[in-house]
Structure 1
């Protein structure tokens, strides 16, 4: 049977490696990773002090190291909340950390009782692990692959169960611990299982960080950096898929092509920085106005497209004209601009390219009619156009 010293040495190596791996991700600037890395570093220092307890003062070897374990565990919880953009801690939790440490000192120096100390500390660790698991499940992004999130959540809940069992075993008197490094079978079993949780937790954290990096890369590959709209390729792929799904269920779909009016003149008169500001303002207004399920993409330059699922062409005309009026009501500072648009609806079995061509033709009609208006081209021919004019 391995000794408690051997198990703690393994835990030390695990924590050092976890801190090194997480440290390699610091430059990626993923929220929470710095706290996780720091937590494993603190764990490492605490374990070193425990292993050196026979050669350092009891206060440093036991009391201080236990305080480090409390802080490190809390830092892991804070890192998990920070990763998901949640408040890192509640005031009551800070008070709980201080209170638990005070209780540990009381059972170490005022009324020595190692069993009570183990029960209290394990109860605290159980709460932290459980809170980490709940945070991961509660705030897991539903559009991301679930595996890495479930991995960390399960590792956390297993740790919760382990610490609850340890707290109950010593708190209810099922076993007695004579010393922290007591080589009793139960203590070695708890230490061994607890040590296994270190690499599983850190692996889960690394998996979450890599998922966040993958999400960034996917966003860079699909979203226009300036406007936040889908790039042309991504828009065409997603729009085609949405149209196919809608047609399979017999649902209507409409499309609008929008183009900022006289945008070259805006750039020439106000400068390219102002032109970029106008594009950002336009895209921001669109994104705030879109309904759930609508798709917004930048086709190139100052030309954009919106796909309206479950929408008839007349309603798409109203929505697009409402957007035009919203921009008129909230202009872009010192860079005024307008846009024109063409709107059309998909017929049965029609492909995206065909409807894009008709909507584009309606857009050119809107330009010819004086700009700053929305034209609806009938899906049966361009002679049946309707107009939403300024005002």
Structure 2
């Protein structure tokens, strides 16, 4: 058996290995995995057909083998496009594969030229790899961690350049190599590199999927399952980082602590299911007031905290009052005889960072302001200054 044959078989086995890895990830439901599975299945079949090309009839060895390999590249690109929320372009990619098959047939039956057949495949593969790199770069707003994306872009770019070099060499040296299985140094180099294109791109895809799964797990761990607000643990982790940044940059930082007035009475009167709806409604209303940079978290049963970076005490008091007012509207809203969420109000305590104090001190003063709001009759926002008077 020739060295080229062994390389092709090893490449096919790598495709099988990557296919098995991808199959294990199918239940995640992440877009693109099915297309990547298809790409590796096609790749395995194509590499086996290439390896046994001398024993097969010409139609299978040339048109079918190259067509299947082109379909593998197309499926790989479709997977990346689906992963980044774009159309898989089945019509365009399918037409591209058919064009490759037609070109292979042209340089098989009309003008028998192995170099030109190689150039056709190299151009198509290079184009799809360039499209993969472009898809990832333009999807950069979705990058979670940079390494998987940068790795895959770099590999796709290297492969694109490699196919360009291969095309140029074969166009300039049309008589040097006449068969894929020819054991020349040049042929062995390109076959070795080309055989592992699909596994390398799949490895990048698997890293992207793993990154997405980690992000999902982190989101589940850090988001309250009922309201969608950040959890208590996530709040304290974020608040510690924000407090350090505030000290380092000499900026302002404020905190709101709030809870639902008479929440136990709501649960006793309407039931815990309705109480849950009240909490969900509160988070939805609060979301219309807080900024994207603010951190809204559920820190207790009916207790919530809002961290306001680069916000003075007066500005935070204004945010608190707007939040209180928009929640209080639930008592005057019309339109339903029996609303799912009963009228309710909230009380809010406001505090701001003083010097190099700890997060516990900041929360203690906000909590004192919250209790002052309760003592003053509820349905109000009270700052730490008012609470200390």
TM-score for both structures, normalised by structure 2:
0.87
Q: Is residue 334 of structure 1 aligned with residue 336 of structure 2?
A: no
Contact in 1 for aligned 2:47/2:195 (Cα 8 Å)? no
Matched with 2:318 is 318
**Separation in 2, partners of 1:111, 1:269:** 86
Deviation at 1:351, TM superposition (A): 1.5
Deviation at 1:87, TM superposition (A): 3.3
**Separation in 2, partners of 1:339, 1:175:** 83
Cα gap change, 1:124 to 1:320, in 2 (>3 Å): farther
Q: Is residue 352 of structure 1 aligned with residue 338 of structure 2?
A: no
Structure 2: unaligned runs, 5 residues or longer: none
**Separation in 2, partners of 1:113, 1:228:** 62
Moved more, 240-249 or 329-338: 329-338
Deviation at 1:190, TM superposition (A): 0.5
Cα gap change, 1:51 to 1:93, in 2 (>3 Å): closer
Matched with 1:383 is 388
Contact in 1 for aligned 2:321/2:380 (Cα 8 Å)? yes
* Secondary structure, aligned partner of 1:344: strand
Deviation at 1:122, TM superposition (A): 0.8
Cα gap change, 1:240 to 1:5, in 2 (>3 Å): same
| Match runs of 1:86-105 below 5 Å | 86-89=86-89, 92-105=92-105
**CA offset digits 1:178-215 (Å, max 9, x no partner):** 23433333222111112243433232222222222222
Query: Quick check: which one's helix share is greater?
Result: 2
**Separation in 2, partners of 1:188, 1:104:** 21
Moved more, 212-221 or 133-142: 133-142
Matched with 1:147 is 147
Contact in 2 for aligned 1:270/1:335 (Cα 8 Å)? no
**Separation in 2, partners of 1:63, 1:338:** 73
Deviation at 1:288, TM superposition (A): 5.2
Name the count of aligned residue pairs.
382
**CA offset digits 1:295-339 (Å, max 9, x no partner):** 121101121101111101111122233234444568796213432
**Separation in 2, partners of 1:268, 1:97:** 66
**CA offset digits 1:139-180 (Å, max 9, x no partner):** 346774322322222222211111111122223446554234
**CA offset digits 1:233-290 (Å, max 9, x no partner):** 2211211221121122221111001212333343444443443333333324434543
* Secondary structure, aligned partner of 2:134: helix
**Separation in 1, partners of 2:48, 2:284:** 53
Contact in 1 for aligned 2:328/2:346 (Cα 8 Å)? no
Cα gap change, 1:72 to 1:313, in 2 (>3 Å): same
Contact in 2 for aligned 1:252/1:346 (Cα 8 Å)? yes
| Match runs of 1:1-391 below 5 Å | 3-89=3-89, 92-140=92-140, 144-173=144-173, 176-287=176-287, 289-327=289-327, 334-336=340-342, 337-378=344-385, 382-384=387-389
* Secondary structure, aligned partner of 1:300: coil
Contact in 2 for aligned 1:266/1:335 (Cα 8 Å)? no
**Separation in 2, partners of 1:95, 1:325:** 59
**Separation in 2, partners of 1:37, 1:177:** 32
**Separation in 1, partners of 2:183, 2:270:** 77
**CA offset digits 1:216-235 (Å, max 9, x no partner):** 23223322222232211221
**Separation in 2, partners of 1:110, 1:324:** 80
**Separation in 2, partners of 1:109, 1:287:** 67
TM-score for both structures, normalised by structure 1:
0.87
* Secondary structure, aligned partner of 1:258: strand
Moved more, 330-339 or 125-134: 330-339
